[in-house]
Structures are given as structure tokens and as C-alpha cells.
Amino acid sequence: MPRLPVCLALAFLLAAPAGAQPDSSDAAPEAGVRATIDALFDGMRAGDSTAVRAVFHEDARLHTASGPGETSAVQATPIDAFVEAVGRPHEKVWDERIWNVEIRVDGPLASAWVPYVFYRGDEWSHCGVNALQLIRRADGWRILQITDTRHQECSVPPAVQKSR
């Protein structure tokens, strides 16, 4: 009888690491996450509200964190308002350029840290970081949340810059 608790404990210890292994059902989930992020910005450049809406989860949220120093205020933007604004005709292309994208994946959850610079046409508008949370569904990765910062000055790589 004393062997049963030892066997159960050993079985538990051996099973625990197996459950902690990364999801290997998708050989390169980071590529799928990156494709979803790229589709968002391609849709914005094209002014295609249908393409932009397609990358968002139905419960998606958008926030901007702003404020002086270490404190911040948070401003929410309804996803439908953002999608409508993208599709509304505008003279200048909304060109959000990104670099050094860092993606982390754990099964159905992904997080991305995305430095960006935003241009309206050839004019610098602002820069900052997008922090994205994505969820994998049967039909692919969907953006669940974006929280961004906005600054007037950032260190933007020359390959990403337009003339100011």
C-alpha cells in the first residue's frame, strides 16, 4: 500500500512538465501572428475597412496610454469607430510602419511588442509602441487588444523613415 502514494506522486511529477510544453500543433505560430499584424497595417494603408475588421476578434478593444512620465491616462477607442475611420475616404494614406516586432506565443495566446511610426501620406504624425494580445481561433489569429503609446519623438530606423 505505501507504494501507491509514491507511484501517484511520481506520475504527477512526470506529467506536469508535459503539460507545460509549448503548443507544437502549429510549426511556426509566430509567423501566423506576424501575418495578422501585417494584415492590419496593410488594410490601413489600403483604406480597406473589411480587411481591417477581419483581423480583430469580435470582443476586441483599443486603448491609448498617454501621460507625463511614469503616470498615464487611458483613452479607449471603440473598434467599430476605428474600422469606420479606416474605411472613410481620406486624401492621405495611413501608413503605419513597424520594426523589431517581438512575438511570444503560448498555445492559443500571443503577445506582440511592436514599435511603430505613423505617417499620413508623407507627413510624420506620431510614433510609439503597440502592445497587442492575440487569440488563435480555428480560422486563425485574431487581435483581441491593442494598447498603444504616442510620442512626437522616437528613435526610428532609417529604413523605416520617410523624409520629415
d(CA 30, CA 91): 34
Q: List, for residues 100-122, the tens digit of each pLDDT value.
A: 999 999 999 999 999 999 999 99
Domain ranges of the chain: 28-149
pLDDT at position 7: 42
Q: Architecture of 28-149 per CATH?
A: Roll (3.10)
Q: List, for residues 54-66, the tens digit of each pLDDT value.
A: 999 999 999 999 8
Give me the mean pLDDT over the 78-102 stretch. Answer: 96
Between 115 and 22, residue with greater pLDDT: 115
pLDDT at position 71: 77
Q: How far apart are the first and last CA of the chain?
A: 78
Name the pTM for this structure: 0.81
